[in-house]
């Protein structure tokens, strides 16, 4: 047989985790594969069948959840309320600076062209 060799429930002993968690996973996998009856698994883990079924269901749900497709790319940065407030204030500063520049320009024009300002104010 060519290719990789099949890895069974003993793979649970190779993952990072506490000894208890690895043992629970190995026993759960043994029951799924069919090499160990549930009653023997319960005796080995010193738990009742209901608790074993809960462990097995949680393990399967966690495995499925970890295999779900996720959006590609780097996750978007979460913005805090203070970051949003800073962005709003920066935008407001830009608006006020533009208004200030327009008012300054109007004042300079009024100072340099007083005659036109007086003509515009007279009525014929």
Provide block-wise average pLDDT over 10 residues at a time, the chain (124 residues).
Answer: 76 88 94 95 96 96 93 83 90 96 90 67 55
For the whole model, what pTM was predicted? 0.55
Clarify whether residues 61 and 17 are in a common domain.
Answer: yes
Number of domains in the chain: 2
Is the CB of residue 88 less than 8 Å from the CB of residue 95? no
Burial 17-51 (b: 16+ CB within 10 A, else e): eeeeebebbbbbbbbeeeebeeeebbeebebeeee
Within 10 Å of residue 9's Cβ, how many Cβ atoms? Answer: 17
* 57 falls within a domain: yes
Clarify whether residues 23 and 62 are in a common domain.
Answer: yes
> What range defines the domain where residue 114 resides?
83-121
- Length of the chain (residues): 124
């Amino acid at each position: 047989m060519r290719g990789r060799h099949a890895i069974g429930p003993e793979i649970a002993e190779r993952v990072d985790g506490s000894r208890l968690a690895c043992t629970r996973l190995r026993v759960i996998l043994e029951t799924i594969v069919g090499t160990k009856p549930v009653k023997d698994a319960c005796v080995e883990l010193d738990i009742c069948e209901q608790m074993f079924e809960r462990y097995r269901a949680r393990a399967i749900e966690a495995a499925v959840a970890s295999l779900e497709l996720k959006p590609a790319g780097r996750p978007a940065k979460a913005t805090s309320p203070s970051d949003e407030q800073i962005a709003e204030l920066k935008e407001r500063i830009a608006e006020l600076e533009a208004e200030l520049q327009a008012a300054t320009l109007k004042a300079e024009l009024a100072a340099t062209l007083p005659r036109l300002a007086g003509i515009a104010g007279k009525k014929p």
